Amino acid sequence: MTPLVTALVDTFNHERFLEQALVSVLDQGLSPSELEIVVVDDGSTDQTPSVVQKFLPRVKYLRKKNGGQASAFNAAFPEINGQIVSLLDGDDWWAKGKLSTVIDALEQNREISAVGHGFYDVDEATNNIQVCVPQETKDLNLETPQAAGEALLRWHFLRTSTITVRRKAFEQVIPIPEQFVFSADSPIAMVSMARGVRILAMPLCYYRRHSGNLYAVDAKNMAGLRRKCDMDELMFEMLGPLLIRLGVSTECVSALLDPPWVTASRLSLSTFGGSRLKTFRTEMRSFHSEYKNPSMGYILFKRLIMGATIFLLPPRRFYSVRDWYAQHNLGRLRNLVFRPRSR
């Protein structure tokens, strides 16, 4: 019998956390004929294999050479049988009733491709738990720039451990480019939003913050922050073409990706530096994203005055000056002279 749903658990050196993750899957109360559990181990060097041994044969265990999250998803996909795939990171865990809730949402809404939901944000160092949920249950799509803007605000409810996707949608991104050593859930989220997704206003999993996180890094961890910045920029470069291939308009792609892309680029440039050309492109992306009908005077200001400043100053110095400019509210003087928007 084909399992109704596959719980796909990706793990790397999660020996301290994996048992809790797998117990939370088993505690969903589904039978083996309803639930397939696949663990893909991305070359762990700790005692992860011993932890998984406790759950055999109920769990299908796939072990591979270390290559990152995308390579783990790619290796696991041919081995899964469920028509619905629910993702779980090996250092997170699900709340009871998660699977039945998301399965019901998919069964009752045949037009959507995936379901996301809120989560409990758990800080391992402080034991602090923060509930992160959307204000309301809402269906998202990328049919208009306004809809794409709304999807952007709820994108973080479609991360690994919160997203459950129909197999046919998952197939549209496999194989995921293996440059996604982490953040490999982002292409899956893109397909989900492009095809229609429901976000439930309830917390159904626990997202664990700990010292080994690759994405949720401490701001003082400069090596980790640099790795995250590099991955974010790679991610945005690759997601745009994917969305265009899925039939999403360039205007909607811009509304979804440009604001976080600008934020990620500015953080990287102001912290680690980079080329002046990259700074100029970042600020032009911000300008075109924010102003759809700018005045000619404001176009000249951005391209000539700001552009000249960008090419005169190294990026870190430019963003220091930009911060000073914003703190002193000098933009109001600029607006009086150049009147940003056309009538």
In the chain, which stretches have pLDDT less than 70?
Answer: 1-2, 214-219, 330-343
Show the tokens assigned to 249: 């308009």
> Where in the sequence of the chain do the CATH 3.90.550.10 domains occur?
5-209
Q: How far apart are CA 101 and CA 164, in angstroms?
A: 11
Query: CB neighbours (10 Å) of residue 77?
Result: 20
Show the tokens assigned to 13: 């050196």
155 Cβ neighbours under 8 A, 6+ residues apart: 189, 193, 256, 260
CA–CA distances in Å: residue 48 to residues 21, 26, 44, 45: 12, 18, 6, 8
Q: How far apart are CA 261 and CA 51, in angstroms?
A: 39
Tell me the pTM.
0.89
Show the tokens assigned to 14: 């999660």
Residue 343 confidence (pLDDT):
44
Q: How far apart are CA 62 and CA 297, in angstroms?
A: 60
3-state secondary structure of 126: coil
Q: Domain spanning 5-209: which superfamily?
A: Spore Coat Polysaccharide Biosynthesis Protein SpsA; Chain A (3.90.550.10)
